[in-house]
Amino acid sequence: MANEETSKRTLRAGLLSMRKRLTAEDAQEAGVALASLARGVPELVGASTVAAYVSVGREPSTRALLDTLHSLGVRVLLPVLLPDNDLDWAPYEGPASLAPVGREGRLTLLEPTGKRLGPDAVLAAEAVLLPGLAVDGRGMRLGRGGGSYDRALARLAAAGAEPALLVLLYDHEVIDHVPAQAHDRPVHAALTPSGVRHFG
């Protein structure tokens, strides 16, 4: 278990270093491609509720994707980071419904300003879009290490909810192997600018 955690830290550091070399334009271009791609993903356009997130830093931008889903009539839930790193959720009602939230030692986040629905609101989602740094052919996802999405995924599993789990990445972040621990849950698909890859 300790070896897997060490391997994760090493891999995470390398991937974050690669992301730092990307530009804001790279993130924006990836986001436009993902939004276009999403129109052909049944798990997304066929869903009544999708849990998503607002990208930060050099993550593939999700802004166009959020607007695409919203314009298609999909109810989009966005996370609100709680002090204990768990996630609350609130509806996305368009760009004007987002506000910056700065936290000491963290990236500035954009969070929804609407009514907080509670951590269990994610249980209503038929699809969950997840941030990540990498995924492998088993669908094992490497996140940033904060554990927020691990909690959300554990909540879904405990409730017997089975939404489609999709991670948003750059093409080069689909890799051969992601170290996995007992609490890690595989995703069903990866969306990258060049297409959708399903696992399992």
CATH number of 2-198: 3.40.50.10420
Is 10 flagged in the annotation as binding? yes
pLDDT of 109 strictly over 90: no
Is 71 flagged in the annotation as binding? no
Give Cβ neighbours of residue 133 (< 8 Å, ≥ 6 apart). Answer: 11, 12, 15, 16, 19, 142, 143, 144, 169, 173
Mean predicted lDDT score pLDDT of the chain: 93
pTM value > 0.85:
yes
Is 59 flagged in the annotation as binding? yes
Is 11 flagged in the annotation as binding? yes
Q: How far apart are CA 61 and CA 168, in angstroms?
A: 9
Is 39 flagged in the annotation as binding? no
Is 142 flagged in the annotation as binding? yes
Average pLDDT on 187-194 reads 98
Is 141 flagged in the annotation as binding? yes
Is 187 flagged in the annotation as binding? no
Instruction: Tell me the C-alpha to C-alpha distance, in Å, between residue 12 and each of 17, 145, 178, 179.
Output: 8, 8, 10, 10
Is 146 flagged in the annotation as binding? yes
Q: pLDDT tens across 118-166, in order?
A: 999 999 999 999 999 999 999 999 998 888 999 999 999 999 999 999 9
Is 20 flagged in the annotation as binding? no
Domain parsing of the chain, residue ranges: 2-198
Is 149 flagged in the annotation as binding? yes
